């Protein structure tokens, strides 16, 4: 599976931050959320994992397009409605980037504006 190593590292990183991983690869037609986690206070966090081995075509953060963000938002809303039964729960979106190899590359968390 493409990206599985990067997603596994990302999940381990989020768990080390004290988050509970509640879903992986949540899919809807036309969209996906790589990781859904819950913080200690109950906030759900929807995380897109992006990894680039080289910066030849830009870093991992640069690979997140406005279209990808829109699809991510749609998938997060679907998750809230289908899995939680409501869309007014505290939540946020973020991108976790890995520049370099999935195992040893530089990791960064980028919060997204609502």
The mean predicted confidence, pLDDT, of the chain is 92
What is residue 21's predicted lDDT score, i.e. its pLDDT? 98
Question: Tens digit of pLDDT for each residue in 51-105?
Answer: 998 878 888 888 899 999 999 999 999 999 999 999 999 999 999 999 999 999 9
What percent of the chain shows pLDDT beyond 70?
97
Q: Would the pLDDT of 43 be above 90?
A: yes
- Output the six-digit token pair for 39: 């913080």
Return d(Cα 11, Cα 17) in angstroms, integer.
Answer: 10
CATH number for the domain including 93?
A: 3.40.1350.10
Its domain, for residue 33, covers 4-111
- Domain count within the chain: 1
- Which residues, 6 or more positions from 91, have their beta carbon under 8 angstroms from its beta carbon? 43, 44, 45, 46, 76, 80
User: In whole angstroms, what is the distance from residue 47 CA to residue 14 CA?
Assistant: 10
Q: Is the pLDDT of residue 17 over 70?
A: yes
pLDDT band (50, 70, 90) for residue 114: low
Q: Look up the pTM and report it.
A: 0.92
């Amino acid at each position: 599976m493409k990206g599985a190593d990067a997603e596994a590292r990302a999940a381990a990183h989020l768990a080390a931050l004290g988050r509970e991983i509640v879903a992986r690869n949540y899919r809807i037609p036309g969209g996906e959320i790589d990781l859904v986690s819950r913080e200690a206070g109950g906030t759900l966090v929807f995380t897109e994992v992006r990894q680039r081995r080289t910066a030849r075509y830009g870093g991992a953060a640069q690979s997140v397009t406005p279209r990808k963000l829109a699809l991510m938002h749609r998938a997060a809303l679907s998750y809230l409605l289908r899995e939680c039964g409501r869309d007014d729960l505290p939540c946020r979106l973020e991108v976790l980037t890995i520049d370099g190899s999935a195992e040893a590359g530089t990791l960064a968390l980028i919060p997204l504006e609502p």
